[in-house]
Amino acid sequence: RTQRLRNQLMPDTDQASHDNTIQNNGEFSPTRPSTVQRLNEPSAALRQVIHDLMNYQDDNDLATRSIPEAINLLSHEDPMTVVQIAKFINHLSKKEASLHAIISSTQLLASLIHATRRFFENIDLVKLTASTLHNLSLQQSGLHAIVKASSVTILLEMVRYLSQPVMFYAITTLHNLLLNYAESRMDIFLSRGLEVMIQLLPFNNVKFQAIVADCMYILAHSHPDCKSVIYNSEGHIILIDIISNCDYEKLLWTAIRVLKLLSITASTKVNLIKAGAMQALARHLNSDSNRIVIHTLWTMRNLSDAATKVVMNLENINNALGSLVHLLNSNEPSIIMCIGGIISNLTCNNSQNKTYLCKIGGVQALLDVLSAYSDREDIIEPAICALRHLTNKHPYSEIAQNSVRDHKGIPIVINILKNCNSFAVRKAIVGLIRNIALCQYNIPILYEFHGINKLTDILLETCQVMNQRLSKHSTTEIDGIRLEDIIESTVGALHVVSRHPQYRALLTDSKCIRIFTQLLRSNSNSIVCVATGVLSELAQDKEGARAMHYLGTPQILQNLASHRDEAIATFATSALYRMSEDRGSINRRQGPSIDLNGSFTGSLSRSEVKFILL
């Protein structure tokens, strides 16, 4: 019936007259269609549409009629019969109409899976079934049908089959399930699919490995428990080996993404670094693939806070630092932000890394970042933290302090401080200013650009916020930053400035003296120490001493002179000595003293601060 209708509607479907040729004076011309042909084109298009629809219906009718018989034959004991039926089903799965018919028959899929299990040693049958499942996985409804037919287990068996075509069909089908059918992820995980994929990861085919790694990423991203499975199965070692030795872009990208997920877990960071993760990642910092560079940087950023706890090859870490500094010239803000965080972490309490970065121009590169991105708090905060580390406690710290001045960095830093409301950025900048103020040649520039006045403003404002929050019994932590830390750093910076007589007058007005006196009543030894230190310096100035007497500061200092903390007691005694008209009348604490012109660098507790306003 269908054929008769086709012949009636399209009698010339198979004739050569529908080719793009015409006959002109007995000759064919391939380029000049006649007017009749041009008029005939819409009609030909319509006939093609009708032809396709009839074929579609034919495929659907054929599949619908054949499915019951196919189900029966799949239970046949003759493997060759089963293979022929599987071949027929596979042929149907390649056409859209009959594919939907297969998807609609859960019984057919279940019978096909069962037959394949019975003759699993038959490579032809397994290959045909794997191909059919792959074809189904290209449709959303097909993914549902695969899971409904309990095909996950046999796919995990196929992916380890001794035939590469079967393995590729199976892993691609599993990947399609994980990627496009979220409900399948738990089934695959509970079927120990992740363990299977870890075993397959070393397979000697980079395209296959790339698909496997992406499957691992999807599972690990969906289920936190998967990360511990990967780690406990030593999957991280295989990933690091791939990253160390592979150059296939897609495999690198997928492997680094999995490692990035693992690098988030604090308990595994040190072991990842010991396994060579940082060195392996650093190898790709100069990759031509932007996505590899970005994921490499984020993974290194995650690991970098633990990197200083592990002894790494000096040449490797220096090469990584050199590449990072070079990448600071990038035009992508996300890359700059990430590098700032890495450098900040790698220079925290690591004299070796600080020294090397100063040698290769790290200070100037970070100052260029501050100049270019002064309005981006997410970029400048880690960059300033890195500069704070580079200007303190290592053989080249004084050179770094001078470098900030030589490259016009002080105005940049003060300008950011004036325009920024972020407590995280403020904390970082105040610490940096304290460090650069240790160089006497930087103090005049700080004064010229009103940096000293801004420090006192920051101190006053932070104390006000602190008092407001304490009065409401609120936490003194804002956005992860303790206000006590900002107060301590700010007073510490002002302590350094107060050692210079020509700038001491900026701090001897009653407003500043009142704040320092209030801080003497803090419960934090760290804050009391820096407050007594700055008052000890200001007591040398007549105006400062007069303001302290007026505010009752000596009485508080008298109590602190017998404090169990040696630094606090010595600073308090020094302040009283300098304020007293009869220096011999002061009962000074006996015992070791510290250099009053130096800075105290001991380890002090940081308990909660409570202010008692005078």
pLDDT in tens, 36-83: 555 555 555 545 444 443 444 455 676 778 888 889 999 999 999 999
* Integer Cα distance of 350 and 347 in angstroms: 5
pLDDT in tens, 402-449: 999 999 999 999 999 999 889 999 999 999 999 999 999 999 999 999
Query: What are the DSSP calls for 350-416, one per residue?
Result: -HHHHHHHHHTTHHHHHHHHHHH-TT-HHHHHHHHHHHHHHTSSSTTHHHHHHHHHHTTHHHHHHHH
Angle at 190 between CA 187 and CA 196, to 5 degrees: 100
Q: Which residues contact 524 (CB under 8 A, 6 or more apart)?
A: 484, 488, 605, 606, 607, 608, 609
Q: What is the mean pLDDT of residues 118-130?
A: 96
Of the two residues 314 and 318, the one the predictor is more confident about is 318
For residue 504, pLDDT over 80 is answered with yes
Give me the pLDDT at residue 42, please: 55
Question: Which of 157, 161, 168 has the alpha carbon at shortest distance from 207?
Answer: 168
Question: Which of 328, 318, 317 has the alpha carbon at shortest distance from 363?
Answer: 328
User: Above pLDDT 90, what percent of the chain?
Assistant: 71
548: left (phi over 0), alpha (psi -120 to 50) or beta: alpha
Cα dist from 575 to 571, 572, 581, whole Å: 6, 5, 12
Give me the pLDDT at residue 463, please: 93
Question: Which of 217, 111, 114, 125 has the alpha carbon at shortest distance from 165?
Answer: 125
* Integer Cα distance of 575 and 529 in angstroms: 12
Which strand (E) or helix (H) includes residue 27? strand 27-29
Question: Which of 208, 191, 119, 93 has the alpha carbon at shortest distance from 151?
Answer: 191
Domains recognised in the chain with CATH numbers: 1-10+42-191 (1.25.10.10), 203-300 (1.25.10.10)
For residue 591, pLDDT over 90 is answered with no
- 204, two tokens: 């000697």
**Pairing relationship of beta strands 481-482 and 27-29 according to DSSP bridges:** unpaired
Look up tokens 């004739």; give the residue.
15
For the chain, give me the number of helices (H) and strands (E)? 35, 4
At residue 265, the 3 state secondary structure works out as coil
pTM of the full predicted structure? 0.81
